[in-house]
């Protein structure tokens, strides 16, 4: 679904990413992790076509992303940003309907197919219950559910998410990530997510990409990536990693800061 070949990125004269290469297969749930300032959000912007690469290229279904019209990309890929402005007097139904823009033939026309897609997206996310409520009446977690619903209304094969659980309580963190996990498992959607919480990443993602120093330090299953050695090198912390039999995933406990560079 996605191929990243020797990608590099800069801001002014500062290099943020260099020679980043990986592929994402259909039905994978990839978590992009790493310390602050390692280029996680920059990489997501590159994968969604928001930022241009300085070197390398990104392919979507074998086609160069840089050459694809934005509307064609939107038919394949939906993006859930970390934060977005939504007019407060828009209803939930209004916001979710915006997701059909890439499929509409006219700017203000809604077909039966569009309405069916909006209704189907709301059923998947159980947001029908507040369809007619205004966005400013919703909690942070509910607004995030609506933004994911809007993305699903696009009927994408790829879902991109930038820290979708940031600033949410533990209930909504579990609901949001559980929803994405279910979509990947049951509808073969490919998901790529930037996330800071290593334990949530390990629990829900099938694969992790650990960025460090502008490149890829580790790429693989949560068990392969979340090792004490990798965490020490990337985050400069001493950490214990144990496999939880209860949730069947590795869990990280930070013991302390190393306070020095790791060789």
Q: Kindly state the tokens that stand for 157.
A: 């094969």
The answer to whether residue 116 sits within a structural domain is yes
* Size (the chain), residues: 263
Does the pLDDT at position 107 exceed 80? Answer: no
| pLDDT at residue 18, as a whole number | 94
Structural domain boundaries enclosing 121? 2-225
The answer to whether residue 261 sits within a structural domain is no
| pLDDT at residue 45, as a whole number | 95
pLDDT tens per residue across span 133-180: 999 999 888 888 999 999 999 999 999 999 998 888 999 899 999 999
The answer to whether residue 141 sits within a structural domain is yes
The answer to whether residue 240 sits within a structural domain is no
| CB-based contact 41:194 (threshold 8 Å) | yes
pLDDT band for 263, please (50, 70, 90 cuts): very low
Total domains in the fold of the chain = 1
The answer to whether residue 68 sits within a structural domain is yes
Query: What is d(CA 5, CA 28) in angstroms, rounded to the nearest whole number?
Result: 18
> Is this prediction's pTM over 0.85?
yes
Kindly give the pairing relationship between strand 14-24 and strand 2-11.
antiparallel
For the chain, the distance separating the N- and C-terminal CA atoms, rounded to the nearest angstrom, is: 35
The answer to whether residue 115 sits within a structural domain is yes
| pLDDT at residue 13, as a whole number | 82
Give the CATH number, domain containing residue 110. Answer: 3.40.50.300
What is the average pLDDT across 71-87? 85
The answer to whether residue 70 sits within a structural domain is yes
Cα-based torsion angle of the residue sequence 139, 201, 152, 25 in order, rounded to the nearest 10 degrees: 170
């Amino acid at each position: 679904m996605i191929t990243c070949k020797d990608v590099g990125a800069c801001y002014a004269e500062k290099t943020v990413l260099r020679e980043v290469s990986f592929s994402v297969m259909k039905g994978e749930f990839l978590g992009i992790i790493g310390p602050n300032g390692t280029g996680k959000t920059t990489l997501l912007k590159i994968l969604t076509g928001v930022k241009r690469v300085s070197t390398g290229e990104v392919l979507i279904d074998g086609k160069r992303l840089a050459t694809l019209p934005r509307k064609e990309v939107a038919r394949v890929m939906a993006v859930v940003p970390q934060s977005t402005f939504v007019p407060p007097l828009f209803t939930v139904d209004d916001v979710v309907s915006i997701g059909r823009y890439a499929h509409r033939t006219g700017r203000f026309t809604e077909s039966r197919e569009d309405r069916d897609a909006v209704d189907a997206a709301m059923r998947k996310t159980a947001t029908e219950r507040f369809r007619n409520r205004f966005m400013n009446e919703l909690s942070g977690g509910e607004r995030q559910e609506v933004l994911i619903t809007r993305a699903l209304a696009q009927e994408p094969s790829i879902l991109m998410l930038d820290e979708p659980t940031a600033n949410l309580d533990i209930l909504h963190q579990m609901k949001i990530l559980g929803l994405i996990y279910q979509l990947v498992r049951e509808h073969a959607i490919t998901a790529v997510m930037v996330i800071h919480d290593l334990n949530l990443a390990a629990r829900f993602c099938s694969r992790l990409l650990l960025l460090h120093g502008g490149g890829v330090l580790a790429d693989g299953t949560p068990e392969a990536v979340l090792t004490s050695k990798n965490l020490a090198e990337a985050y400069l912390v001493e950490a214990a990693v144990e496999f939880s039999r209860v949730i069947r995933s590795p869990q990280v406990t930070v013991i302390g800061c190393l306070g020095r560079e790791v060789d």
